[in-house]
Homo-oligomer: A and B are copies of this chain.
């Protein structure tokens, strides 16, 4: 993602990414090292950037949204660490470097994931304590955290991961594949955008539009990832390709073919753009981002 705005948000997140982690005792240094190893592995920071952008778009102060932006990256990172474990996807490579358990061992990787997930909520709740004399802002934060907890939870990301896991080596219906994509990937992306909007006190209409944008973007993003798993360059991706095929995972290209999948990415991207285009210049970031993500598999 190369847009100036994206890079600005990304830099802001990078600068603060470790800041909202709890201060750990030197006796827990391995835990901290393991958590920060994965956090600093150079991801796209898509979710935190979207959170900040949504907050900014709705007129909020992006800097005040940073604890929530970083928290959602903690959550995303924990999910990758656990997903890579031998008992799950058993991946050795992530973001171009060895996966967490390859470096720190499985036990620490499990605990680092747990630590990041808990730290996300600790950071957000700690931030709430600062708004006791501004009830309106406090309520916005409560709403934001609720969105994030839902998106990350058993009606969101985790539901998608369980369904994904359960369909390995099995025939998967188109309906179930949609369910997996909506939950595994789109739910947390939606939560990021919705949380950012809530922090800025967005009205229902704007919230609904951002939600629709994020759902389409999230689905396009996952299908593109599935395409890249077949078609992509290991070095550019920073992770192994062909993994889905080996594990007999049901993916969009697998059920619909490569061309049909690319068309679907295009369609979802156009849907996403269409929601935001009426905002013209104000929504430039969102329109460009959708286009850039789609262009990965043009």
Contacts and interface: CB of A to CB of B under 8 A. Distances in A.
Interface of A: 21-25, 27-28, 30-32, 35, 78-79, 82, 85, 87-88, 105-108, 110-111, 113-115, 117-119, 121-122, 125-126, 128-129, 132, 135, 138-139, 142-143, 145-146, 149-150, 152-155, 158-159, 161-163, 165-166, 176, 179
How many copies, total?
Answer: 2
A143 to B, nearest CB: 7
Given A126-B146, A132-B139, A163-B27, A21 B154 contact: yes
A79, A143, A146 interface centre (most CB from chain B within 10 Å) = A146
Nearest to A122: B149
A113 B114 contact: yes
Given A114-B117, A117-B118, A121-B145, A27 B176 contact: yes
Given A24-B155, A31-B162, A114-B158, 10 more contacts: A21-B154, A22-B155, A23-B155, A27-B159, A82-B111, A87-B106, A108-B162, A111-B162, A129-B142, A142-B142
A289 to B, nearest CB: 27
Q: Which secondary structure dominates chain A's binding surface?
A: helix
A89 to B, nearest CB: 9
Contacts of A118: 117, 149, 152-154, 158
Contacts of A132: 139, 142
A146 to B, nearest CB: 4
A49 to B, nearest CB: 22
